[in-house]
Amino acid sequence: MKNIYFTAGPAALHPKFEEFIHQAIDEQIGSISHRSAQFRKIYQHCVENLRTLMNIPASSAILFTGSASEVWERILLNLVEHESFHLVNGSFSDKFYKYALSSQKFAHKYEKPLGEGFSYAEIEVPDYAELICVTQNETSTGVQMREADIHKLKRSNQKKLMAVDMVSSAPIPELDFDLIDTAFFSVQKAFGLPAGLGVWIANEKCLEKSKKLSKIDNINIGAHHNLPVLWKNYENFETPATPNVLGIYLLGKVAEEMNKIGIDAIRKESEEKAKKIYKYLETSSLCSAAVKNPEHRSKTVAVADTSKPSKGIMEALKAKNMIIGSGYGPNKDSQIRISNFPSNSMEQVETLLEALKELE
């Protein structure tokens, strides 16, 4: 019997994954040249469907890397000459911050304890920060930053660039890509695909900045996957190096499928499943929402404090072929993490909650 994955990524695969992989085998996608018209069509198809799905303007480029973690580095090298500013409230936002330090940037951070989120009004952006780095969904703690707060933060810092990590939430948040300069995600979360592909959205202001930086002595924007080279290739729907062609093909198929359903319907279903999960956590004696402020609770990764060690809960669910995640880092044993991605149906979520109830 197959497992149902409710993990934060790698996660449950899209219900049509097997159908799409068989199409890929039939079309010999694993063998086609990344310099062929066939590949350019695959890239274009993927871009067009992501544009529709996430309402990304035609002026922004959609680029492919090996992972979203790679994009952290590419953004810091290409968009920051001296100083970046990071909102940090968990392992992944902290990694983004630490990548800035490793990239020898002067990195500022505004840090909050695990489980707490950021509201627009409390954030003071340092004067000299060139880039504001926001983690829309902090996968380690299940904390989200609401779209409205992200938008206000950018509007009040028009001259700075803003980067949004939406690794474990895209395409669910309704972000305004006319406002946000750059964002990125990976495919093994809400898109329900095997890992191995990062997606980087960037606007023309980002390109301009990276070109400016490339002319400054002692600034290294990177040899591999720097923004000007990625962008130039993107204009022909190509990539500088051989990319994960199969991954791009599958992402295009999943995005197309999502567009058939419609992003509004997908977001509405996510919202309803999230409500069901958090409602259960409010009344359960086994687990309670780890994020106290309901406005900061993630719609895609719910984290719960548990009254029993998480290991036992995970094992009991595994015996019923349901896989959830442990807490992250210091909360490994005292929390569980349940993803709420589009690949898991309402029925599957209900089955999981029933199984949790039986463990109370």
Kindly list the residues in this chain that would bind a copy of itself in the complex (CB under 8 A): 2-3, 5, 7, 9-13, 17-18, 21, 25, 28-34, 65-70, 72-73, 76, 98-100, 102-104, 186, 188, 193-197, 218, 220, 222-226, 240-247, 323, 325
Smallest gap from Cβ 222 to a copy of itself, in A, equals: 7
Give the residue with the Cβ less far from a copy of itself, 35 or 357. Answer: 35
Residue 72 vs 118, nearer CB to a copy of itself: 72
Question: In this complex, which beta carbon is closest to a copy of itself, that of residue 49 or of residue 339?
Answer: 339
Nearest CB to a copy of itself, comparing residues 91 and 157: 91
Nearest approach, Cβ of residue 186 and a copy of itself (Å): 7
- In the bound state with a copy of itself, the residue whose beta carbon lies nearer, of 226 and 300, is 226
CA distances to 18, 41, 209, 271, 357 from 31, in Å: 19, 15, 36, 40, 49
CB of 73 vs a copy of itself, minimal distance in Å:
4
86 or 154: whose CB is closer to a copy of itself? 86
Minimal distance in Å, beta carbon 156 to a copy of itself?
29
Residue 221 has phi, psi (to 5 degrees) of -85, 5
Amino acid sitting at position 334? S
Nearer to a copy of itself, 118 or 249 (CB): 249
Beta bridge partners of 132: 85, 162
Please state the closest distance from residue 311 (CB atom) to a copy of itself, in A.
14
Nearest distance in Å: CB 28, a copy of itself: 6
CA distances in angstroms from 195 to 150, 192, 245, listed in the order given: 27, 9, 13
Nearer to a copy of itself, 33 or 44 (CB): 33
Q: What is the smallest separation between the CB atom of 193 and a copy of itself, expressed in angstroms?
A: 7
Q: What is the 3-state secondary structure (H, E, C) of the chain?
A: CCCEEECCCCCCCCCCHHHHHHHHHHCCCCCCCCCCHHHHHHHHHHHHHHHHHHCCCCCCEEEEECCHHHHHHHHHHHHCCCEEEEEECCHHHHHHHHHHHHCCCEEEEEECCCCCCCCHHHCCCCCCCCEEEEECEECCCCEECCHHHHHHHHHCCCCCEEEEECCCCCCCCCCCCCCCCEEEEECCCCCCCCCCCEEEEECHHHHHHHHHHHCCCCCCCCCCCCHHHHHHHHCCCCCCCCCCHHHHHHHHHHHHHHHHHCHHHHHHHHHHHHHHHHHHHHHCCCEEECCCCHHHECCCEEEEEECCCHHHHHHHHHCCCEEEEECCHHHCCCEEEEECCCCCCHHHHHHHHHHHHHCC
Q: Which is nearer to a copy of itself, 29 or 255 (CB)?
A: 29
Min dist CB 346 to a copy of itself, Å, is 19
